[in-house]
């Protein structure tokens, strides 16, 4: 059994909507959105400092959303639907042209625009994305998409989704050692990110060996 950080319930209520919107904007898939949001709140709940303050908690939560969404976005590589298919999806918010255009923007662009809309300062966005503040200035330039701000604001969890997510989090903390589970998950994700480079290194070493033996 794990213990949630002291102010978890207040933080969950305050940021569930924006964090969920960011998850959807980055994963572009409702199922992945819910999974990433769940994992992100587990990281906040298992914060090393149980008395984590509001600013640090918010930074931790949204940085987790960006990192985990990037992992899922790269791993899944889902084909983005056509405009017609996108409009035919069952979404709890309007599938507008503006939202569709936003979802077609590059990952970091979507993340930076959403974070800026949610009130994050350029330095905070830079830390969350792992880029320079100069890069953030370019990423947060308003896109030529009419109604893009309203589209971001429209993305939301339903009340039932938020309640179910909250229940799942408390159940997970009651059942398992979430801090250890998070560490294992992060280690696995880190390995997945470097695995392609390790494979290339092995191939390069093999090619060099063949060349060296045959010269």
Per residue in 134-191, pLDDT (tens digit) is 999 999 999 999 999 999 999 999 999 999 999 999 988 887 665 445 443 454 444 4
Residue 1 lies in a domain: no
Residue 32 lies in a domain: yes
Per residue in 40-73, pLDDT (tens digit) is 999 999 998 999 999 999 999 999 999 999 988 7
Q: Which residue has the tokens 């408390």?
A: 170
Mean pLDDT over each residue of the chain, to the nearest integer: 85
Can you tell me the distance from the alpha carbon of 111 to that of 47, in angstroms, rounded to the nearest whole number? 23
Q: Is the pLDDT of residue 208 over 90?
A: no
Answer yes or no: are the C-beta atoms of 179 and 2 closer than 8 Å: yes
Residue 146 lies in a domain: yes
Residue 193 lies in a domain: no
Residue 194 lies in a domain: no
Q: Alpha helix locations (H) across 89-177?
A: 97-103, 107-117, 122-129, 133-139, 148-154, 159-175
Residue 191 CA from chain centroid, whole number: 18
> What's the pTM value of the predicted model, to 2 decimals?
0.81
Residue 203 lies in a domain: no
Per residue in 5-14, pLDDT (tens digit) is 899 999 999 9
Residue 214 lies in a domain: no
Residue 205 lies in a domain: no
Which range of residues forms the domain containing residue 43?
Answer: 8-176
Question: Total domain count for the chain?
Answer: 1
């Amino acid at each position: 059994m794990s213990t949630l950080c002291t102010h978890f319930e207040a933080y969950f209520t305050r940021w569930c909507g924006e964090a969920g919107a960011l998850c959807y904007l980055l994963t572009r898939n409702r199922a992945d959105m819910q999974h990433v949001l769940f994992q992100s709140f587990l990281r906040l709940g298992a914060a090393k400092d149980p008395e984590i303050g509001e600013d640090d908690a918010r930074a931790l939560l949204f940085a987790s959303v960006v990192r985990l969404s990037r992992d899922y976005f790269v791993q899944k590589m889902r084909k983005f639907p056509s405009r017609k298919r996108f409009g035919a999806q069952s979404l709890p918010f309007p599938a507008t042209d503006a939202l569709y255009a936003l979802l077609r923007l590059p990952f970091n662009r979507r993340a930076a625009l959403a974070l800026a809309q949610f009130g994050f300062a350029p330095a905070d966005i830079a830390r969350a994305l792992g880029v320079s503040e100069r890069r953030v200035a370019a990423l947060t330039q308003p896109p030529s998409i009419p109604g893009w701000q309203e589209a971001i604001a429209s993305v939301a969890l339903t009340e039932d989704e938020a309640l179910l997510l909250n229940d799942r989090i408390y159940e997970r903390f009651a059942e398992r050692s979430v801090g250890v589970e998070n560490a294992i998950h992060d280690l696995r994700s880190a390995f997945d990110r470097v695995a392609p480079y390790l494979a290339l290194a092995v191939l390069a070493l093999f090619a060099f060996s063949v060349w060296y033996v045959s010269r």
